[in-house]
Structure 1
Amino acid sequence: MFKRILVAVDGSVTALDALDKAIELQQLTRKQDGEAEIYLLCVYKHHSLFEASLSMVRPDEMQIPDQALTEYARDVVDQAKKHALKQGVTCRGFVKGGRPSKKIVSFAQTKEIDLIVMGSKGTHTDVDGMFLGSVSQRVAAHAKCPVMIV
């Protein structure tokens, strides 16, 4: 049925709920078609150097926002991998920068994903937010494969 399942993660509770559903689905279909691969993707919003220069806070060591966001996104993926591993499932993790809905859809096409699973709402603060607004709706509208919104 499904050979490749993409789970969009952003550190939110709903993203972990989506991962749980993907794992459950993987285990249900395992008997029929073999085990589906689960891909984890965390997308951070890209910031330009100009945006970084507008910050009122000047740390001793200047860190470009994309570097900090990449590190945060890697942590989110690592936490999701640990969550899956507790259930006996290994996943492949990826981090991308850009507009979340576009990156999720293009990643799914590139990796020939059979199903995208994602939470209905992500985190909403500017510091922690990976998905802003109605990302799940945009992904569902533009994806070439089925989308399960948890």
Structure 2
Amino acid sequence: MFKRILVAVDGSKTSLKALTKAIDLQKLIPDAEIFIICVYKHHSLFEASLSIARPDNMEIPDKVLSDFAKDVVNHAKDLAKEQGATKVRGFVKSGRPSKVIVKFAQEKEADLIVVGTKGTNSDKDGMFLGSVSHRVASRAKCPVLVV
């Protein structure tokens, strides 16, 4: 059965539904661990410098995105514990989300990846699956549960 469950979160409602489903699975398999990952896309200072709006105190985009991703993971961990999850660890990574999620699953020897159907960027595009969940489901070496 599933011993290591990887849940990708981005703060969207569907990613939190995926987290709840992973917790439900963990309750059925008490030895299972849940790994929560939030991946942010790297933005260079060069990309930020191309913006028309330039505040006086410009923050490094990766720092802001990393801090946000940490908040998302911490919130997800708190929710997981509130819902009765026992073994929960959180991770923040940068890069292309689908590639990072699949690679991280392989590194951690995840038995299952749980993702939401759509993330924060595809709420109203009319598609059933967002690009990240589609790519993860297509490329993962382990089963993928799309919630």
After TM superposition, is the score higher than 0.5? Answer: yes
Once structures 1 and 2 are overlaid, which stretch shifts more, 50-59 or 72-81? 50-59
Q: Deviations over 1:45-103 (max 9, x none)?
A: 11112101112222232211111000000010011011111112241000111100000
Of 35, 39, 44, the residue aligned with 2:40 is 44
- How many residue pairs are counted as aligned between the two chains? 140
Assess if the C-alpha contact under 8 Å between 2:23 and 2:84 holds in 1.
Answer: no
Q: Secondary structure at the match of 2:16?
A: helix
2:26 is the counterpart of 1:29: no
Aligned partner of 2:121 in structure 1 is: 124
Alignment of 1:1-150 (within 5 A): 1-30=1-30, 35-90=31-86, 91-124=88-121, 133-150=130-147
Assess if the C-alpha contact under 8 Å between 2:26 and 2:85 holds in 1.
Answer: no
% identity of equivalent residues = 68
- Flag structure 1 segments of 5+ consecutive residues without an equivalent: 126-132
Q: Using the alignment, how far apart are the partners of 2:55 and 2:35 within structure 1?
A: 35
Question: How much does 1:148 deviate?
Answer: 0.2
Q: Deviations over 1:90-126 (max 9, x none)?
A: 410001111000000000011111100010001017x
Q: Using the alignment, how far apart are the partners of 2:105 and 2:139 within structure 1?
A: 11
- Flag structure 2 segments of 5+ consecutive residues without an equivalent: 123-129
* Amino acid of the structure 2 residue aligned with 1:15: S
